[in-house]
Amino acid sequence: MSDCIFCKIINKEIPATIIYEDDRFVAFKDINPIDKVHFLIIPKMHEENLLTAKNDLATREMFGEMLMLAPKLAKKEGLEGFRTMINSGVKGGQEVFHIHFHVYGGSDHLRKI
């Protein structure tokens, strides 16, 4: 998608503080962090959100791999515990319509949900 900001980060058209990249995913620091450590994990394949994602084996595997990447990167970033968040759709608070997992933590004052 030519106007997707995350696709532009993947294609190195705009800068980001990338903390991880492989052939399927990119992780980078959030530009508006909500905690001491806050990064995003995105697939290189453009998928809008959980509401519109295909329910096929490849997509389910992609989401599983993204989720399992979170603890690896959280530890690398110095977190002993963390939260994940996925916003889906406008009414779910999604601002960039390319699926992404927020991973954040580091504060001792997190409110329990």
Tally Cβ neighbours within 10 Å of residue 5. 15
Residue type, 34: I
Greatest extent of the chain over all pairs of C-alpha atoms, in Å: 40
Backbone φ and ψ of 37, nearest 5°: -120, 130
**Catalytic annotation, residues:** 100
**Counting Cβ atoms within 10 Å, is residue 106 exposed (0-12), middle (13-18) or buried (19+)?**
middle
Question: How far apart are the C-alpha atoms of 97 and 48, rounded to whole Å?
Answer: 5
